[in-house]
Structure 1
Amino acid sequence: MPQADAITTDRSRAALLALSADMAAEGAMLIQRVLPAAPDAYRQWEHYPEGDAIDPDSRARWFYHAHPPEQRAEGEHGHFHVFLPLSAFDGVEPLFLPKKEDAVKVVHVAGLNFDCDGLPTSWMTVNQWVTDEYVMPAEAIIDRLDHLVLDRAGEKAGMEKVGQWLTLALRSCRIDIAAILRERDARLAAIDPRDTDHEILSARRFSLD
């Protein structure tokens, strides 16, 4: 890693740890800020927040949801999905187009799994059928990672710190994000993007080491 990139990554990690400490001091960790206050109000498959959290400046977005227990990894609670807007890829030819004509114009960057203690466990990429998105080449997404800003996403719902945390996490783990995107492209070269037998295409443990 070039020295400048290493310094940026170190600063992002320090800022991520500081933000996590601030959130803990406020008495509400990341997942607590996303889910309904009443436990019985939480619904599988629902997007939290409703309508997704969209940054008004970058137009990047995130949402959190959970699959039914039989479709989760052991100990998994749910996961975030993070997207860049299609408009960030002007002039780039998609690898695959959405199936729906009215599909949301987004490009999936990565998912981040969380366990039942509210801690991040792993990054992942998914097959196209999971998100029905515009699949862009890995290198095009990697080139735009530094512009993936979610700092104001969810601010109307009081969730802007979640977006800030995700922005710092993506920057802190940039090497791992790039790796799983390249692995995703290698898998997509060998499988059908609509094949439901293939869901998770690549993954890396969440680590700040």
Structure 2
Amino acid sequence: MTEGIRIPELRTLSGGQLRSSLAAVDEIRECYRVLKKGGLNIVGEVLRDQGPFYEMDHYPKDDVYDRETASQYYYHAHREEHSEHGHFHLFLRNGALPDSVEPVCGPTGENRVAHLVAISMDAWGYPTDLFAVNRWVTDESWLPAEAVIAALDQFAMDHAHPSWPVNRWLTAMVRCFRPQIAALLNHRDALVADRPGQSLEQVLEDRTLEITGSIAIDVESWAARLKEEQSRRSGNDQPFLRALSASATR
């Protein structure tokens, strides 16, 4: 479901975003490394000691929340037809959201909560897709994409419950795939604005519209593209650096 989703070209990413995504790749790999040493994986960690895995229930119970960063997530399953084990839903609550933006509908004031992205996981504990959802799916505060995108870097799970590697991994996933998440949010807004015969409020409660867009992801493939872009930029800098060095020796 990638039709109409405009992912920015790598050459348009700022140097800071490129470095941030590459650093996040290293963090993701480190999380996999320490989990693998114990025979563990991301999904197994978040379900550890949670009892039977029931469809639609939130794991861990009562979600995971970092009060300092106003970041929140949970894991659950309800999409068997998509051949996924389950997916994470990631949120930012009021303290991390722009003060000046009030939602079109959904919780307001101190109860504001914005859904950032969902991450589909396979049975081996690895991510397969990112997707965005309609408002009714998570009962979020509907904020414009530009406001949510501006707050993306605020997402950080900076504690060890229920698993430090899982929390570090989720934080890194947002940093790593920030361009894709931004593209999904922009596409989400364009899609709900283009539903003939329905007001925006009607579209946001339309049970026939659940997933507004999805993007397949692969950490190593994305890492290779990021490194290639980094090398391209470094190569482009060489003539300038050689000219600068030559002028300094004159």
Q: Fold-level match, TM-score > 0.5?
A: yes
Tell me if 1:166 matches 2:170: yes
- How many residues are treated as equivalent by the alignment? 199
State the alpha-carbon separation in 1 of the partners of residues 129 and 145 from structure 2: 19
Letter in 1 for 2:80: R
CA contact (8 A) 1:36 1:42 kept: no
Letter in 1 for 2:205: R
Q: CA deviation at 1:116?
A: 2.0
Which secondary structure state, in structure 2, belongs to the residue aligned with residue 51 of structure 1? strand
Letter in 2 for 1:15: E
- Listed as ranges, the gaps of 5+ residues in structure 2 are 1-12, 196-202, 223-250
The aligned counterpart of 2:188 is: 184
- 1:89-134 deviation line (CA, Å, top 9, x unaligned): 311132x312x79x95311000001122222110001011101110
CA contact (8 A) 2:27 2:168 kept: no
- 1:32-68 deviation line (CA, Å, top 9, x unaligned): 0111458x7111111001110001310210000011x
State the alpha-carbon separation in 1 of the partners of residues 85 and 111 from structure 2: 26
CA contact (8 A) 1:173 1:207 kept: no
Q: What root-mean-square deviation, in Å, do the aligned CA atoms of Structure 1 and Structure 2 show?
A: 1.9
Tell me if 1:119 matches 2:95: no
CA contact (8 A) 1:53 1:63 kept: yes
Letter in 2 for 1:204: I
**Larger-Rg structure:** 2
CA contact (8 A) 2:129 2:217 kept: yes
The aligned counterpart of 1:84 is: 92
Which secondary structure state, in structure 1, belongs to the residue aligned with residue 91 of structure 2? strand
State the alpha-carbon separation in 2 of the partners of residues 151 and 163 from structure 1: 7
Q: CA deviation at 1:4?
A: 2.1
State the alpha-carbon separation in 2 of the partners of residues 195 and 149 from structure 1: 31
Letter in 1 for 2:172: L
State the alpha-carbon separation in 2 of the partners of residues 108 and 163 from structure 1: 17
The aligned counterpart of 1:33 is: 45
Identity of aligned residues (%): 31
State the alpha-carbon separation in 2 of the partners of residues 21 and 46 from structure 1: 29
State the alpha-carbon separation in 2 of the partners of residues 193 and 74 from structure 1: 23
Q: CA deviation at 1:86?
A: 2.2
The aligned counterpart of 2:33 is: 21
Letter in 2 for 1:151: D
Letter in 2 for 1:110: V
Tell me if 1:48 matches 2:59: yes
Tell me if 1:199 matches 2:199: no
Tell me if 1:110 matches 2:147: no
Q: CA deviation at 1:27?
A: 2.0
CA contact (8 A) 2:73 2:91 kept: yes
State the alpha-carbon separation in 2 of the partners of residues 15 and 36 from structure 1: 22
CA contact (8 A) 2:70 2:94 kept: no
Which secondary structure state, in structure 2, belongs to the residue aligned with residue 113 of structure 1? strand
Aligned to 1:139, which of 126, 140, 146?
146
State the alpha-carbon separation in 2 of the partners of residues 130 and 104 from structure 1: 17
CA contact (8 A) 1:123 1:205 kept: yes
